[in-house]
Amino acid sequence: MTKARTYPRRGLHGALVHAIGLRIVRGDLEPGDPIPAEDELGVDLAVSRTVVREAVKVLAAKRLVESLPKRGTRVLPRREWNLLDPDVLAWQLEAGADRKLLDEMLELRRLIEPPAVRLAALRATEEQIDDLERAVVDMATAGEDASAFLEPDLRFHSLLLEATHNELLEHMASILSAVLRTLFTYSGRPPGAYLRAAALHSHVVEALRQRDPAAAEAALVALSDDTKANIDWALRRQTALGRSDAPAAG
């Protein structure tokens, strides 16, 4: 199963990748700006030149920076970034995801999953449907524990794309997982939301067992709508807390 993984923050190398990446995404370093010299970064973040060079390679692979002869390493415009990279998504969330970005993530999900689940209803093996059902059971077992709920939730959606038996869709699992992880992390959830989400996932599995593409799509759309409702709830709560000078909801 393809999984979206963020770059580990452990160690100086990972910490430096995170620190520079966040600066870029947050706008502290703007397009065309040079990455601070290795000596400056080394002093600033207490790392060696070798660690800085390796970190820059990682950021270049994510298309946040580009190194050119005689010009050094410079920040690339946002249109060049790999916006679906799990780290870039996570840094945007940490920098303060705006409504436009969240809406675009929701739109992307709606473009991928409803058509995919129709294929899964026709092509999924009984074993794959059983695996999806086990993921739902794990979600229900997690109850209102957000950290325990996340893993089976992401597993469910990766399994769903695998059940299409379309190799290209299967390879989109890492993209979808990165999007869903970001939406999940951002969206606050009112009491009972996790158990409701587990039930909505269960409706998808029931439709797959019935080999009913229309019902599977309807169940998936209902699940997507529930995510949007949670995002809306989190944004309203954040606005209300902001007005009262309380910490923003995460």
Single-letter amino acid code for the residue at 128: Q
Q: pTM of this prediction?
A: 0.79
Domain 97-243 CATH (choose: 1.10.760.10, 1.20.120.530, 3.20.20.70, 1.20.200.10) = 1.20.120.530
Mean pLDDT value across residues 192-216? 96
Comparing 123-137, 152-166, 203-217, 235-249, the range with the smallest average pLDDT is 235-249
Comma-separated ranges of CATH 1.20.120.530 domains in the chain: 97-243
Bigger pLDDT: 241 vs 124: 124
Is a pLDDT exceeding 60 seen at residue 5? Answer: no
Which value, to the nearest 10 degrees, does the dihedral of the CA atoms of residues 33, 35, 37, 40 take? 100
Q: Are 192 and 230 in contact (CB under 8 A)?
A: no
Comma-separated ranges of CATH 1.10.10.10 domains in the chain: 11-80
Question: Angle at CA 64, nearest 5°, toward 62 and 70?
Answer: 115
Provide the pLDDT for residue 2.
Answer: 42
CATH class name, domain 11-80:
mainly alpha
Q: pLDDT tens across 41-81, in order? A: 655 666 777 888 888 999 999 999 999 888 889 999 999 99
Provide the pLDDT for residue 243.
Answer: 44
